[in-house]
Amino acid sequence: MFIMSTGKSFKLILVRHGISKWNIQNIYTGWYNIGLTDTGIKKSSNLGKYLNNIGFDPKIIYTSKQKRARHTSQLIRERLSNKNVPIVSNWKLNERHYGMLTGLDKNKYPFTSTYYEMPPKIKRSDNDPILNMIPSYYADTCLHL
């Protein structure tokens, strides 16, 4: 997410993170910190080049705490004229949390519902390596955007 001042008004540009390794595998990602694919890296960098070519000059970049979103923001910023634009990360911008669905194939565990509806209950081991890698951001609850 980029904010750019144009006189007395502001422009807000929303950008989704580049293609992640789990996006192409059709896996529920949520809060799991998976990296970008080579294509995701290239497209993020190209977007930064495009934004720079059209004269986009953001004053600040907001992003989630997720690795793929922070990396996308950094790749875009590297292509801008002003490479010192501050990047502010906050967990409140994170993708939806999929709970027990995290790391599972979307074809085997389809979940179509409204945004706030709870995912289906799935039994997984307490020692599940995927579930144990999901970060907790509760310590950051006092942060403000």
Residues annotated as catalytic (active site), given as ranges: 17, 95
Beta strands in the chain (DSSP E): 2-6, 9-13, 60-63, 87-89
Residue that has been written with the tokens 């599940």 in this structure: 128
Half-sphere exposure (CA, 13 Å, Cβ side) for 40? 22
First-last CA distance in the chain: 12
CA distances from 118 to 32, 66, 93, 102 (A): 18, 22, 19, 13
